[in-house]
A and B are shown apart, each in its own frame.
Chain A
Amino acid sequence: MIQDVCFTDTLLEAAKEVFETMIFMDLQPCGEVDQPIEGEALMATITFSNSLEGCLAICAGKDCAEAIAVNMLGLESAGELSNEEVTDAIGEVANMVMGSVKSRLTDVYEDIQVSIPSVVQGREMASSLGDSSRRASVKINIEDEHVMEVSLLYREAHK
């Protein structure tokens, strides 16, 4: 069943829906998937379980995360933002992208349960789920100015 779903396309479509509807920013896929986001970055993760289990992660540089938060909150500049608002905003992006991914997978995996998102800040961050998992990842160019990575670590649960 797992081969029937193109998770990379699903991630991209889900991210586009969220960014166009809620954040009012244009995004396009870009290459260099294996390169980590450089400099200080925020990573929002949200886990899911049942017939498909794993973790969705969104990694964005600090500037990118601030630009997203500014647009989400309808502010003029990043100077008006608190760190908590930036963290909260990236967590909500992960939450909404995961919700959009989940709705696209319901025909194949109808019982997916999703956790509450968590956000960490650091450098050269990567997510991992052990040897038995697969990984789909897209790097996304936002407004020709920022790069964000959306990745999905997943495996079908053992029954």
Chain B
Amino acid sequence: MAKSLMIVDDSATMRKIVMRTVRMSGLDFERTEEAGNGAEAIEKLKESPVDIVLCDVNMPEMNGIDMVKKVRAEVPGCADTKIIMVSTESSQDLIDSILREGANGYITKPFTPERFQEKLSPFMN
């Protein structure tokens, strides 16, 4: 079944790099969306849910952790959406707390196409 993807990052350049790396990983998405922060992502998700969200942690306006909490609490259409955090933050405590808030995975920057393949492919079927 065709999947949809949203990339959330305040850097337009990083959104492009993430998209390129997803393509290089061989994963195929029918629809892709972008958002520049957590608040914008939530508005878009309320209108049109996606299957997988790749989300930065440190962002202005609404960071990735707050976004995960809000999606899980306020966007019922995204109950099955898998949220994978993508960040330079690598502390295990932070990763554990983000996973407790409802994220489904974590990818640290710098990343490789193989890493995306490993983390996303379990959610592609």
Contact = CB atoms under 8 A, between A and B. Distances in A.
Interface in B72-108: 87-91, 108
A85 interface: yes
A21 B110 contact: yes
Interface string A65-81: 00001001110000000
Nearest to A89: B13
Contacts, number: 61
A22 B11 CA distance: 15
Interface residues of B, number: 21
Q: How large, as a class, is the contact surface on chain A?
A: 20 to 34
Contacts of A99: 87-90, 108-110
A73 B58 contact: no
A18 interface: yes
State the main secondary structure of chain A at its contact with B: helix
B60 interface: yes
25 contacts: A18-B110, A22-B17, A22-B109, A22-B110, A73-B20, A74-B20, A88-B14, A92-B11, A92-B13, A92-B17, A95-B11, A95-B88, A95-B109, A96-B109, A96-B110, A98-B88, A99-B110, A102-B89, A102-B90, A103-B90, A110-B91, A114-B58, A116-B58, A116-B59, A116-B60
Interface of A: 17-18, 21-22, 69, 72-74, 84-85, 88-89, 91-92, 95-96, 98-100, 102-103, 106, 110, 114, 116
